[in-house]
């Protein structure tokens, strides 16, 4: 089967920085971690391995350059790992040195570092959700009620994963040490026991309610305060609303990422908001006063005589607040000039009379354009 584009796998563009790639990998690895997908572990494991392979290439400047130039063929003979034959648990230990043991396995996945058979408390999984805001929400700040599902401690077994009245047994492979030795003589290699994951214990009589996982899905509702001035894609952290840790470790966090609902008349440009408003050619020529949409309702705007197509008018302080300084941006109103699609007989006669009296000198843009055009034809005749 053909391999997918590595940038597509991590959801980043080809101009992504090293930090962008690292953040993307953390997020995708969290999403597809097999322990977080108990109902679809096989597919999740395949995607988890695919993300690790993509990260190995895009995080290495030399491999990334080869890949950008020659695609997958350019990576032959450069010492790539064969992720398809690796256990996903072993992939975590590979990247511990990049992210740090606690950050990669504990901070991201809540699994706790397993190097050397460590089985102490581990922080729980972080969770992600999204919240949709209007521009008016962003202008003032808002509190939103968020409903989501997380894996919580099983009430039947209190998270032990064992059936009531039972307890874990000693691992038959490592005999409870959490480590196994291989090799002989002077040189021996000690590694984490694959059977028990370094805990030294195995579940012999699993809890039926959670199927031996110690966790069950549970709905959760929280109120999240969104500060004024947030931008599309920014996340609001809600501490301690992630999943429970292992062995008494703390809960992870919940990250609410902002999606902005399109406004019917306004769009955002930094902390400014922009409205595009059509006026007639007579209003543009003679000047007028119009009502324009804003975040605070209708605003009166004076259009001076001789306004040109595309002219922009500024209403001070009517934009969105800066999330740090809290100072408001402005509202920009760009006018477009509509030419009537149909004219009655009288209107046509009036316009013809007007055309006879037109003075080209009062059209500075047209005059400048045709003067340049005349010089152009003269130089290229």
Between the CA of residue 42 and those of 35, 45, 48, 179, what are the distances in Å? 11, 5, 10, 26
Q: Which domain holds residue 173?
A: 169-202
Per-residue pLDDT reduced to its tens digit, 167-215: 888 999 888 888 888 765 556 677 778 778 777 888 889 999 998 888 8
Both 223 and 296 in a single domain? no
d(CA 163, CA 341): 79
Length of the chain: 381
Both 8 and 73 in a single domain? yes
- Among candidate residues 181, 202, 223, the one where a domain is terminated: 202
Indicate whether 115 pLDDT > 60: no
Number of domains forming the structure of the chain: 5
Q: What is the DSSP string of 135-162?
A: HHHHHH-EEEEEEEEEEEE-TTTTTS-B
Both 27 and 98 in a single domain? yes
Burial (CB count <10 Å: 0-12, 13-18, 19+), residue 40: exposed
Both 9 and 87 in a single domain? yes
pLDDT at 267: 94
Both 257 and 268 in a single domain? no
For the whole model, what pTM was predicted?
0.61
Strands 235-238 and 254-260: antiparallel
Both 149 and 253 in a single domain? yes
Indicate whether 106 pLDDT > 50: no
> How many CA within 13 A on the CB side of residue 361?
0
Both 155 and 176 in a single domain? no
Check residues 114 and 219 and name the one with the higher pLDDT: 219
Both 147 and 230 in a single domain? yes
Provide CB contacts within 8 A for 3, sequence distance 6+.
72
Q: The domain spanning residue 141 has which CATH number?
A: 2.60.260.20
CA angle 305, 306, 309 (to 5 degrees): 125
Per-residue pLDDT reduced to its tens digit, 6-42: 999 999 999 999 888 988 888 888 788 877 777 788 8
pLDDT at 90: 57
Between the CA of residue 110 and those of 53, 244, 275, what are the distances in Å? 21, 8, 47
- Among candidate residues 91, 119, 147, the one where a domain is terminated: 119
Among 258, 296, 259, 260, smallest CA distance to 275 is for 296
Provide CB contacts within 8 A for 168, sequence distance 6+.
160, 161, 162, 199, 201, 202, 203, 204
Both 17 and 83 in a single domain? yes
pLDDT at 361: 63
Indicate whether 229 pLDDT > 80: yes
b/e per residue 1-23 (b: at least 16 CB within 10 A): eeeeebbebbebeeebeeeebbe
pLDDT at 188: 65
Both 44 and 153 in a single domain? no
pLDDT band at 279 (very low <50, low <70, confident <90, very high): very high
- As a whole number, the mean pLDDT across the chain is 83
Q: The domain spanning residue 2 has which CATH number?
A: 1.10.287.110
Both 294 and 245 in a single domain? no
Both 215 and 198 in a single domain? no
From its phi and psi, is residue 191 left (phi > 0), alpha (psi between -120 and 50) or beta? beta
pLDDT band at 366 (very low <50, low <70, confident <90, very high): low
């Amino acid at each position: 089967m053909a391999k997918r584009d590595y940038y597509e796998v991590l959801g980043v563009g080809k101009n992504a920085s090293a930090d962008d790639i690292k953040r993307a990998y953390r997020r995708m690895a969290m999403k597809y971690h097999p322990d977080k997908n108990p109902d679809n572990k096989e597919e999740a494991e395949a995607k988890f391995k695919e993300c690790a392979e993509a990260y190995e290439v895009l995080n290495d400047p030399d491999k990334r350059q080869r890949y950008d130039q020659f695609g997958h063929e350019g990576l032959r003979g450069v010492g790539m790992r064969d992720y398809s034959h690796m256990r996903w648990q072993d992939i975590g230990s590979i990247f511990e040195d990049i992210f740090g043991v606690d950050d990669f396995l504990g901070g991201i996945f809540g699994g706790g570092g397993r190097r050397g058979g460590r089985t102490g408390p581990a922080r729980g999984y972080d969770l992600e959700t999204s919240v949709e805001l209007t521009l008016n929400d962003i202008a003032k700040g808002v509190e939103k009620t968020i409903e989501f599902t997380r894996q919580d401690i099983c009430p039947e077994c209190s998270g032990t994963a064992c059936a009531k009245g039972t307890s874990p047994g000693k691992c038959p492979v490592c005999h409870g040490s959490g480590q196994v030795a291989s090799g002989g003589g002077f040189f021996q290699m000690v590694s984490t026991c694959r059977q028990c994951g370094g805990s030294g214990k195995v579940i012999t009589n699993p809890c039926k309610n959670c199927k031996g996982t110690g966790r069950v899905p549970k709905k959760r509702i929280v109120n999240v305060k969104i500060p004024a001035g947030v931008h599309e894609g920014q996340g609001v952290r809600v501490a301690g609303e992630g999943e429970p840790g292992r062995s008494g470790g703390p809960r992870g966090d919940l990250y609410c990422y902002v999606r902005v609902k399109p406004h019917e008349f306004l769009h955002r440009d930094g902390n400014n908001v922009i409205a595009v408003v059509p006026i007639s050619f007579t209003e543009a020529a003679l000047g007028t006063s119009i009502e324009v949409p804003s975040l605070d309702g209708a605003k009166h705007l004076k259009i001076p005589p001789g306004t040109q197509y595309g002219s922009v008018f500024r209403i001070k302080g009517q934009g969105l607040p800066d999330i740090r300084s809290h100072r408001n941006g402005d509202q920009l109103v760009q006018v477009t000039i509509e030419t009537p699609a149909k004219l009655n007989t009288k209107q046509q006669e009036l316009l013809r009379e007007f055309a006879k009296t037109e003075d080209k000198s009062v059209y500075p843009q047209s005059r400048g354009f045709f003067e340049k055009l005349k010089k152009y034809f003269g130089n290229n005749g």
